[in-house]
Amino acid sequence: MIEALVALMVMSFGMVALVGLMGNLRRSGDLAKQRSEAMRLAQAETASLRSFSVVSASASQAASGVMDYDNDVVTLDARSLTPENANSTFQLYRDVTPLVKDKTEPQAQTVSVKVAWKDRSGAPETLTLATVISRTDPSFGGALGVTPPTNSIRVPDGRNPAIPVAAKDLGNKSSAFRPSGGSQTVWVFNNVTGVITGKCSIDIGTAVSSLTPRDVDTCKNNTVGYLVGGTIRFSDTRQQEDIAPAAPTGTALPLSVYLSLTPSQFTVRNANGAIVLAPGGEYSITPNHECFSDAPSSSPSTQTLVNYNCIVYPNSQSPRNWWGQVLLGGLNLGTDDSHVKVCRYSADYNGNTRIDNEEHPASYSGVSYSLVRQNFLVIRGSLSCPTATIDTSAGIFVDYTTYQLQPS
């Protein structure tokens, strides 16, 4: 009898524990269902915001219920949602803020979607999803339907985009280029990096298009240089409002292109912990650059633009780099109508709030690759360097902003 009572007592304790376990399992199951439902609601809200049809809807589009970025990707007050077969009522909150603070027309918005509810015991629960939604026209999404190449990103002629189009692909992962039609100089580019890996002299009568790897065998691996190239345009108008930076109408002037290089300003800490300039910042090759252009020899001319190409021999730091300015010489610089002024085409094209080396700064810093499209506009000295920012309504799709470079 005593043994039976003891067994019954032990079994009773086990049953009590089992009842508690079943209660916890039921509560956990309910909470898992509620969290799953909350996640579904948050994801649906985020997906809905991403499904805008236009960036800014016209009056007719707004009247027809078209969802647009500017008016629909906004902060909203809490909404109560009770999904079918759900065991709780959810409160959904949406908070939208510019990705870049104080931007009046943000390039992207940070979106935070929060779902709140109470579990079966009355305890508050929340779930939050955060994302960034870009202010990009959905029409660009069509590019996602284009099958990407299987061998990395497409580049012009399968070469580094810094290599001039006129360069002859030698078929051995290198290209040959003559920087000036009146020069014997030929440069050899590495097709992958766009770095100039060789330089030699080849008779002017030999067309670059006819060159073979054997013809430039003496050019290989005898130098390392970076290309700097671009186009120089001219405007001879005497009225500020008549300057057309997108398509100036002046003719080319005799000029030269040169670089004013300065030692590297990269810093390191020495053995004593002091910050000093990194070694190897000077330029061991003299001259440290060479420039070629097709500028006319006299004025007036019939040319409307000048193309230039420079090779810069960098310092010995790692990676090898150069610092300085690209300047125009041979011009009558000044600030009155009898002189000319040099403007550089430059703007924050990539939207990162600074002018990078590729975007033609007044002074370059730490350049360790080839640069192209470093363009100039020469105008009368009495006028200001013009601007022409993007305005699709006016048919301007490229930022043609310019800044004065010379006289400094």
List the beta bridge partners of residue 226: 312
Whether residue 388 sits in one domain with residue 291: yes
Average pLDDT over residues 72-92: 87
**d(C-alpha 330, C-alpha 352), whole Å:** 35
User: For residue 271, is it within any domain?
Assistant: yes
How far is 128 from 113, CA to CA, in rounded Å? 6
Does residue 214 form part of some domain?
no
pLDDT score for 153:
58
Tens digits of residue pLDDT in 65-81: 888 888 888 999 889 98
Rounded CA-CA distance 139/165 in Å is: 31
Q: In what order do the strands lie in the sheet with 90-98?
A: 76-81, 90-98, 108-118, 124-134
In what order do the strands lie in the sheet containing 289-293? 289-293, 305-312, 226-234, 376-380, 340-345, 402-406
- Cβ burial of 85 (10 Å; 0-12, 13-18, 19+) is exposed
Residue 278 in domain: yes
pLDDT score of 20 more than 60: no
* Model pLDDT for residues 354-392, shown as the tens digit of each residue: 999 999 999 999 999 999 999 999 999 999 999 987 776
β-partners of residue 97 are 110
Answer with the one of 106, 137, 168 that is the final residue of a domain: 137
Segments forming the whole domain that contains residue 47 = 32-137
**Same structural domain, 127 and 230:** no
What is the per-residue pLDDT for 148?
A: 60
Q: How far is it, in rounded angstroms, from Cα 32 to Cα 127?
A: 12
Where does a domain end: 95, 117, 137?
137
Asked if residues 401 and 392 have their Cβ atoms less than 8 Å apart, the reply is: no
Q: Is 217 inside any structural domain?
A: no
Residue 11 domain-assigned (yes or no): no
For the entire predicted model, the pTM comes to 0.64
Share of the chain above pLDDT 70, in %: 89
Q: Which residues pair with 257 in a beta bridge?
A: 328
Looking at the fold, whether 265 and 393 belong to one and the same domain comes out as yes
Co-location of 133 and 254 in the same domain:
no
Amino acid at 365: S
Q: Is 90 exceeded by the pLDDT of residue 55?
A: no
How far is the C-alpha of 317 from the C-alpha of 131, rounded, in Å?
A: 41
Rounded Cα–Cα distance for residues 18 and 23 (Å): 9
Indicate whether 191 belongs to any domain: no
Residues 255, 367 share a domain:
yes
Peptide bond into 407 cis (omega under 30): yes
In this structure, the answer to whether residues 232 and 120 fall within a common structural domain is no
Residue carrying the six token digits 């300047």:
327
Average pLDDT over residues 190-196: 93
The CA distance from 355 to 402, in Å, is 12
Same domain for 109 and 240?
no
Q: Is residue 84 part of a domain?
A: yes
Quote the tokens at residue 297. Answer: 């020899």
Count of Cβ atoms closer than 10 Å to residue 101 Cβ: 7
382 and 248 assigned to the same domain: yes
389 and 279, same structural domain? yes
d(CA 117, CA 91): 6
Span 30-44, pLDDT tens digits = 788 888 888 999 999
Predicted confidence at residue 13, as pLDDT, reads 63
Q: Extract the runs of DSSP E, i.e. beta strands, from 202-281.
A: 226-234, 256-262, 267-269, 275-277
Beta-strand relationship, 376-380 and 226-234: parallel
Residue 82 has pLDDT above 90, yes or no: no
pLDDT at 158 over 80: yes
Residues 131 and 233 in one domain: no
How many domains in the chain? Answer: 2
In a domain, 176, yes or no: no
Q: What are phi and psi of 328, to 5 degrees?
A: -105, 135
Q: How far apart are CA 223 and CA 186, in angstroms?
A: 12
Rounded-to-integer distance, Cα 123 and Cα 141, Å: 43
What are the beta bridge partners of residue 177? 187
Q: Is 118 in the same domain as 234?
A: no
**Tokens at 186, concatenated:** 């030929």
| Among 137, 166, 200, residue at a domain's last position | 137
Same domain? 285 vs 382: yes
Report, as an integer, the average pLDDT of 223-242: 93
